[in-house]
Structure 1
């Protein structure tokens, strides 16, 4: 096993690592070569509470945390904070489809989310409900963060100083924003969105700045009444790009990543935060998710994959592993990518402990084990792969049970029990769900051709004389030798393997047959062969 590195050696290795979290963390080292003066480096993620948390929420908090941990490694433990910021002062633009009492929301369209009754009847507002869901969601995965509410900051006056700066530089900010807008939009655009004192709606109207020091502005309410009121104390909020910049300025945000769809927002908000006297945070612009057809995922289309679906057919670790890889490349997000992600995660985890340090720091699992822990778990391995489990439950059928699977696992690993292998128990659960919903309905065994039948008889003959201690490797070698025998007429070994998969398992793809036979059992495999040969008559 690789020796434990000293802190100095680890820092030195991290400084030259090409792993993307370290590359991102290097930006912060350049930002603060001697450490951040008088405070913690602040990482931020944003959340729009007009809907429930989703897989995009998870990936942004996860990836930001990966950079945070990488920075802590590079600096030998410099203090950091992660803020999960909720944009709950936003006005509700449309009624979500997946909430009860839609008429309640319809009656409050346009109002700040924290000033709209909770349609679920559990919290003081719709935003408070969704914020609670966000915190429960992040706590479920053990993330370390501080929750910050936009409404709380606006209402308490914590943003008043920053709002005054926005009013002081109102014309300059307009100079940044107006060229980016359509001509029609320019006529009504204002960086400041006053809250109507009559209707409580967040207004999209032109405003006139009267006094930046007191926050006083003048505007026409929706009924035409001219109103003079302060922007302080929650009586107004800012347009999105200006709001983002103001938040960076007010909180002192040092790092925030976002999706490719916000590239222009990063540009404009970066200019505005400098106008306010702040500094644009470092950050990563990541690619967006695609569905299995390569199309952009849309909430309205419902062509994506929810985090609940991933955790039904896979595991939290496999999801984190999938999201770690190549954040600047678009990722397809559908059930079909899960099995490979599960097996690759465990392959990388099993390799980690024996790798030299430069390979360890490039191993996704090194980073993932440190998201919410101390790195424990390196070198762990499971007795079977997820793909092998899927093949096993496929043969057992849609009604397969966990007890059946564990009885077969006993053929492969001594004392295999859910208690001894809790991680494997999670894979058994996921394999049964995947088989029930996706595999079993599609499996169709075809009868073997004449030459395939002869090869199956040869395999059956070998299995008949194989002793009880025959190993998976010996079984695999026997399968190879039969496939290479010219008497059976296979042009390539791939043709033989495909024949095994299609006649015995009902699928065009499958596992190493030696491993499968060892897991499923020699007598049971002989029964599969007998059924296939019977079907050939």
Structure 2
């Protein structure tokens, strides 16, 4: 059974709420999409099972601005460090009224592209409307139980006069620097501590203030529990960093049981998405943003990237040639399998579930098409003076339908964007068609010997396909006892003016045989 369907099978109740949330501290990285798509898949599985389900998504915009991202004006935003994100000005007032809505707006555009449509709520509204008031009072009245949970679960000592609340300082507007040390008659006593945080100083102001109606917020582990109650959450997974033993989720679970006398929502951890092996951070601007990757990959492929891997396994996404072309190839292979008649056994059907959940529609329809190899498309895009669509039509085994062309044209867009924004120099295929590359004029004697043998072998009646040509290139190097490194460097120098490049066999397959033979002969002549 697919992992999302297992959650659906175990869930029960008259109103099942699947919830996820995000702090919009900056440009949202692609890693945050994993939680979004995982929760959306669980929501869809519940719908498919005929259970009453709602998908909600919270924007934690009462959290403090703790870093100014490198891509923003440091001078403009540094004065707002420590302020609630919803009280920080927007980087572009014409796009959004404040900082939180600006960055969340960009993220929600990605939701729409991916066919994810949760009910969105903002923490500012839960606090300012008074919906959090009764829970603020409850946790302040039971501060000793909250302190107990922190101590027992995460070994974090809180002093006897620590209360689980942070006010917005009436003097400086910061929320990160305030400490509450008393609660009486519906008011808290707080101090804006000068040395509370290492990234910003408090102003030293102190006083009594009501904690209700948006005057401050609960610490996030306590706030998490209050949200579960206010929103009515039934299922909420969390990233590995929050799900470790003694971590944030364990603390929240304990607070829920101690103070509310209830079991917390269903939970399971999910792993990170790494970009080039690095965990990403929104505020630090590390990694590719969700918007950037959503602008690159077709939405079904981006969903597929998230869903084909079990939530407990790391996804290491490197937008390089090998990873991107393999993603397209794996998806296309499932499309072919979906279209075939040979998917009757249970295992074959299970393999197709990630494909089905990757579609933008929620009715499990997969619109079939005739795949065209994406790696071939990237190569064809780089050949000058080529009628691309005519070449694609000639290489396709079947007559392409309008929908086939719709898919292919979008992939042409992806290929162009990948070449422009992501391809390394050695992944690019800039073929010198009109002039001999400079580096081809300085081949070694062994390399010339290799090219001579290669001309002889290629002149025969050979299969002009990528893999067959690659095999021939290898066997020729063994025939004349030239190292593979030197042999392939001779080919790349002769056609690309660089030492390395894409598969040489594939490179030849995209070119006319007569052109390849003539270029090799010209390079031999230049070096004799």
Which band: TM-score by shorter chain? 0.7 to 0.9
Paired residue secondary structure (2:412):
helix
1:82 aligns to what SS in structure 2?
Answer: strand
Which residue does 2:363 correspond to in 1? Answer: 374
Map of 1:394-433 to 2, 5 A cutoff? 394=382, 396=383, 400=384, 404-413=387-396, 420-433=404-417
Superposed CA RMSD in Å reads: 3.8
Match of 2:352 in 1: 363
Indicate yes or no: 2:301 matched with 1:343. Answer: no
Return the TM-score normalized by structure 1.
0.77
1:393 corresponds to which residue? 381
| Aligned pairs (5 A) from 1:186-197 | 186=159, 189-197=162-170
Asked whether the 8 Å contact 1:256–1:283 carries over to 2, the reply is yes
Query: CA 1:411–1:120 in structure 2 vs 1: closer, same or farther (change >3 Å)?
Result: same
1:269-294 deviation digits (Å, cap 9, x = unpaired): 111122223331223312223343x3
Is the Cα–Cα contact under 8 Å of residues 459 and 478 in structure 1 kept in the other structure? Answer: no
Q: Which moved more, 1:341-350 or 1:237-246?
A: 341-350
Residue of structure 2 aligned with 1:56, choices 31, 34, 49 = 31
Distance 2:173 2:283 in 1: 28
Alignment of structure 1 residues 37-436 onto 2, 5 Å = 37=14, 39=15, 41-73=16-48, 75=49, 77-100=50-73, 102-122=74-94, 123-178=96-151, 180=154, 186=159, 189-202=162-175, 203-211=177-185, 215-220=186-191, 227-263=207-243, 264-275=247-258, 276-292=260-276, 294-298=277-281, 303-311=286-294, 313-324=296-307, 325-336=309-320, 337-354=323-340, 355-356=343-344, 357-370=346-359, 372-377=361-366, 379-382=368-371, 384-394=372-382, 396=383, 400=384, 404-413=387-396, 420-436=404-420
3-state SS of 1:93 partner = coil
TM-score w.r.t. the length of structure 2 is 0.79
Helix, strand or coil at the partner of 2:180: coil
In the alignment of these two chains, the number of paired residues is 483
**Over residues 391-446 of structure 1, what are the superposed CA-to-partner deviations in whole Å (9 max), with x where a residue is unaligned?**
3334x1xxx58x73223213213666987511111222222333345256555897
Residue in 2 that maps onto 1:10: none
Q: CA deviation at 1:134?
A: 3.3
- Tell me the secondary structure at the aligned position of residue 31 of structure 2: helix
Measured in 2, the distance between the counterparts of 1:460 and 1:257 equals 61
Aligned-pair distance for 1:501? 7.7
Counterpart position of 1:11: none
**Quick one: distance in 2 between partners of 1:144 and 1:500?**
54
Q: Which runs of 5+ in 1 are unaligned?
A: 1-16, 464-472
CA distance in 2, matches of 1:361, 1:120: 46
